[in-house]
Structure 1
């Protein structure tokens, strides 16, 4: 594939990608499509973007289709991203459930990428549990990419990945060296269960949760898809459950089933009701 392609080719790829996984490409993302798909197209002897779209539309479950979606899925992440969500989790959400004498809760990390978010949640939980013995948290982490989930399950990271948001203290406490990488310790990994999930499809098999982390994800979806996702996430929460979004994300114009809760360290949304 060349670095440039026609407006019609790009438009057709935009339509395919949104239908396949909900990602909405802007009008100025030609470079992103070219850089992420160039090698894949060469390897599969596909000369143009339009031919790729035609091939993808012929099969709804091909290996090529999976590879294209994985290539276009943004996997930007880091440890304890933005800090405050994990403070809210420990100081507000966990304390709320503790006051209700609820000692076992479930958390969903949606679009978990290579695992930094769910493992950060598990580390925060370990720290909290030391002050509150018997407090149990199970984390379900999901992503659309099977390839990235395989890497997340291994929980092995290089020095560069560890340097992005992880303190030296937590590195010493929660990681062990494996060759030239570092692996999350077994007690932290055991709290996390990984599942392949497309956010445009059903969540029913995941069960109910007490809190959902869906951070820096909705920005890639259309307004219609945002409304659909938020309503189905509301259905996936237990009464008065919590929803944590990205720092720049808001749900005001998409879903009216949540209320904003201002904690001392940041904002979290809570399912309305009693």
Structure 2
């Protein structure tokens, strides 16, 4: 378990607490079955042996927490939508840019794309540019396809939006191509990889910092700040905060629960 947990931390910066080591065995059962192995020791041996470089990728993908749903914390996304509307009103020609960092299988950026597209239909204007990144190539492969099971589609997605933006395909649901095309997906390790070029107005990085050490949290927050416009908004998970972590952000005075990039 130490070898496997260390692999995850080396590749992504994420840590598994000692009291959650049970998750390693649970998450890796499908990998063991696929490879015809009986124990985690055998799996660790394959990683150390280096005979198949893909086994390490499989292990890391399996250990990442890809829990997500459509319109997760819907009130927060509505607040993001309202902030985007204010930005458009202040500068109608502005190219608003939004980054979903740690996008998992795409539910968050697709939720944003639906929300923004509906705003454009109602109020006019341009669609914001949406960039979505994740450290897992396997999760991104699913996100780019935009295909979800009945169980996944029912988690947080109202029937009205499901019928408007998805097509039934066998037992699954596929996001309409014009919706998926609004999102630029790319693999990115928040800890180590070069960040997207340009400045963002809104960055959503929800429930990612929870798994990082305090030192890495500060580094990631400062890296996010480096690609945000002054006054831009940072959206974290309900259990996350910038307080005591960085001087780059402050609680947003007009958007309760969000954080504002400090100019200068």
TM-score by length of 2: 0.90
Q: 1:148 corresponds to which residue?
A: 139
Structure 1 CA distance for aligned equivalents of residues 140 and 48 of structure 2 = 25
Contact map agreement 2:92 2:125 (CA 8 A) in 1: no
Q: Aligned pairs, how many?
A: 263
* Residues 1-274 of structure 1 mapped to structure 2, 5 A cutoff: 10-41=1-32, 43-44=34-35, 49-50=40-41, 52-53=43-44, 55-56=46-47, 62-263=53-254, 266-273=256-263
**Residue deviations 1:178-232 (CA, integer Å, cap 9, x gap):** 2222211222111111101112212334443221110111111111111111110
Contact map agreement 2:105 2:140 (CA 8 A) in 1: yes
Structure 1 CA distance for aligned equivalents of residues 172 and 110 of structure 2 = 16
Q: Which runs of 5+ in 1 are unaligned?
A: 1-9
How far did 1:156 drift?
1.4
SS in 1 for 2:11: helix
Contact map agreement 2:70 2:156 (CA 8 A) in 1: yes
How far did 1:55 drift?
4.4
Structure 2 CA distance for aligned equivalents of residues 243 and 171 of structure 1 = 28
Which region of structure 1 is more displaced relative to structure 2, 70-79 or 88-97?
88-97
Contact map agreement 2:233 2:252 (CA 8 A) in 1: no
Structure 2 CA distance for aligned equivalents of residues 192 and 53 of structure 1 = 37
Contact map agreement 1:78 1:117 (CA 8 A) in 2: yes
SS in 1 for 2:121: helix
Q: Which runs of 5+ in 2 are unaligned?
A: none
How far did 1:125 drift?
0.3
Contact map agreement 2:15 2:212 (CA 8 A) in 1: yes
SS in 2 for 1:212: strand
How far did 1:132 drift?
2.9
Contact map agreement 1:123 1:188 (CA 8 A) in 2: yes
Structure 2 CA distance for aligned equivalents of residues 54 and 233 of structure 1 = 37
Structure 2 CA distance for aligned equivalents of residues 97 and 134 of structure 1 = 8
SS in 2 for 1:28: helix
CA RMSD of aligned residues (A): 2.1
Structure 2 CA distance for aligned equivalents of residues 36 and 225 of structure 1 = 24
Contact map agreement 1:12 1:50 (CA 8 A) in 2: no
Stretches (4+) displaced over 6 A = none
Change in CA separation of 1:13 and 1:22 when aligned onto 2, cut-off 3 Å: same
Structure 1 CA distance for aligned equivalents of residues 29 and 152 of structure 2 = 25
Contact map agreement 1:203 1:236 (CA 8 A) in 2: no
